[in-house]
Amino acid sequence: MAALRTPGSGCPWDLEQSFETIAPYTIEEAYEVADAIQRGDLQDLRDELGDLLLQSVYHARLAEEQGAFSFGDVVEAVTAKMIRRHPHVFADANGNTADAGHGFWERIKAEERAERASRGKAEPTGALAGVPVALPALTRALKLQEKAGRVGFDWNDPRAVLAKIREEADEIEAELDRSETAKAGMEVGDLLFAVVNLARHLGADPEAILRATNAKFERRFQSIERALAAQGKGPKDATLAEMDALWEAAKTGEG
């Protein structure tokens, strides 16, 4: 990366990049890692982890050029953090499980925030603080709900969340009855938030289960296309009823 970023002999494209221009690629590579895991492709996972590692190297090099920190500093910082956050693993034999009780992870992170604040790097406070805005919306909703749940703002029964989902769906229908499509669209946001909450109460990761559903939809639609191609036509040449029947056949075929 140092060679790529060396003026005169480096890569013109790499020399033009900044933290801001590279950040979208960092996010993309993280998703590609998740995709390889979802597909169970370990060879692809190896390659994608390399691409993701390159993103860390890239950002570290940009920082080193500004005299801020190096890649070695990144490695040392995360190593120190993992040791600090796992006293039940890295403590001496007598204290090996002393801090392994409920909530110790959050306590340690709170101590880290206090330490940063003492160095003039105060962070937003409050029960919901610390959830990055840049997270995917489903993941951020999940983390906000988890934090709210820790202070008691939560349901105890998934059925109560399911009732909330029905309530939100009714509100969408009410707005549609009034031809308020913009307001109905906003209500869909509330519905999605409630659905994420139900997934959380069922112990399911909303991002992961939606990726699985996307893959299922893609697989079944491709089955429709293959069946229509065997008849010498494509989806645009078929009726909705025909495609729906082929969809049900694909669904049945999956068991």
DSSP 8-state code for residue 153: -
Residues shown for the chain: 255
And the tokens for 49?
């982890």
237 domain-assigned: yes
Work out the angle at residue 61's Cα, subtended by the Cα atoms of residues 56 and 65, and round it to the nearest 5 degrees. Answer: 150
> What is d(CA 63, CA 134) in angstroms, rounded to the nearest whole number?
21
d(CA 181, CA 56): 43
Q: What global pTM score does this model have?
A: 0.68
Does any domain span residue 223? yes
133: left (phi over 0), alpha (psi -120 to 50) or beta: alpha
Q: How far apart are CA 142 and CA 26, in angstroms?
A: 22
pLDDT(127) > 50: yes
Residue 241 domain flag: yes
Evaluate whether residue 10 is within a structural domain. no
Range of the domain at 225: 209-253
> Within a domain: residue 183?
no
- pLDDT at position 176 over 90: yes
Q: Is the pLDDT of residue 213 over 70?
A: yes
229: in domain: yes
Question: Is residue 246 domain-resident?
Answer: yes
Query: Could you tell me if residue 67 is inside a domain?
Result: no
For 217-252, how does the pLDDT look when each residue is reduced to its tens digit (9 = 90+)? Answer: 999 999 999 999 999 999 999 999 999 999 999 999
Number of domains in the chain: 1
